Amino acid sequence: MLAEKLRITSGQSGPFGGGGDFYEVAVDASGCVSIVLADVCGNGPTAAAFVPELRDVARAQLARGRSPGIVLAALNQLLASAERATDRFATGLALRIDPRSGRVEIASAGHLGPFVKSATGAVHALSLAGGGALGIWPGQRYAETTVRLGPGDGFILATDGVTDALASADDTLGQLGLVERLRRATPGDDKALCATLLRHAQACEDATVIVVQRGWSPIAGDRSVQGRIATASSADDRRGKVIAN
């Protein structure tokens, strides 16, 4: 009997560790895997100062099994609250994946991607009904888009520390540059892909890459992903680390 397997590989780089980039990965009681990736504007310690509170809110929402749009709305409320009196904002993505069916719910807060690399090698950026960046105004709602991740397909999430380094006059956001590098990447070598993209990142910027790969694993008699996916966080991330398999 074949049991599906979800593999998540991550990497981070920056002049002062993770800086304003952070992510959280959690599995709920149903076996669905949730991922939150956020990028606070700026780099280094100034941006990182906002991360602990945002991380706490993300963890609390994921622990309650909240949907991607609700998770982003909670992060937005934290940054946009009048008590904070800050001009800081963040972009972000939130996903909830059912590894058995491949159903993926996604919400975006002004963030590029995610990017899809299919089992055939084709690459494209998903077009999402996204909301505004986190912290711009309170009460923002984030629409969710549902797609299916087929066996052998993968998602790539990246912050602008990666894409800015790939930008050109004709591709100011670096999106096309990232797509081209994803097309050339060796299928299945997620660690190498993370390392390659981080090598292109600018040394002065925070950069994060997360690769989510869905496949088939010949595990006899196992119909559940529970127990095979670990809760993970960028708080203890290392470059190229496999955080779920």
- CB-count burial class (<10 Å; 0-12, 13-18, 19+) for 83: exposed
Q: Kindly report whether the peptide bond that precedes residue 15 is cis, defined as omega within 30 degrees of 0.
A: no
H or E element: which one contains 63?
helix 51-63
Please tell me the predicted confidence (pLDDT) of residue 199: 80
Q: Nearest to residue 148, comparing CAs of 98, 114, 223, 111?
A: 98
Pairwise pLDDT comparison (2 vs 210), residue with the higher score: 210
pLDDT at residue 239 in the model? 44
| pLDDT tens column, 37-60 | 998 887 667 777 888 999 999 999
Q: What is the pLDDT of residue 112?
A: 86
List pLDDT tens digits, range 92-109: 999 999 999 999 999 999
| Residue ranges of domains in the chain | 3-235
Look at residue 238 and tell me whether its pLDDT is greater than 50: no
Which strand ranges, in their side-by-side order, compose the sheet holding 103-109?
Answer: 144-148, 103-109, 90-97, 33-40, 21-27, 232-233
Q: What is the CATH number of domain 3-235?
A: 3.60.40.10
